[in-house]
Amino acid sequence: LVLVLVLVLVLVLVLVLVLVLVLVLVLVLVLVLVLVLVLVLVLV
């Protein structure tokens, strides 16, 4: 039982880490897109 609990906890932690990484990547992509749009607007 203890081993199963530890495995579940590790899986949950890994899932949370992956979700956080994905969120950070999405945020970075959005920021880059916004910067590009602003640059295009300023240049044009």
Based on its alpha-carbon atoms, the radius of gyration of the chain, rounded to whole angstroms, reads: 19
Q: What is the pLDDT of residue 40?
A: 96
Task: State the total domains in the chain.
Answer: 1
Q: What is the pLDDT of residue 21?
A: 98
Q: What is the pLDDT of residue 20?
A: 98
- Residues 1-44: pLDDT tens digits? 899 999 999 999 999 999 999 999 999 999 999 999 999 999 98
From CA 24, how far away is CA 5, in angstroms rounded?
29
Torsion-angle region of 42 (φ positive above 0: left; ψ -120 to 50: alpha; else: beta)? alpha
Residue with tokens 């899932």: 15
Query: Would the pTM count as exceeding 0.85?
Result: no
Q: What is the pLDDT of residue 14?
A: 98
Range of the domain at 1: 1-44
Q: What is the pLDDT of residue 28?
A: 98
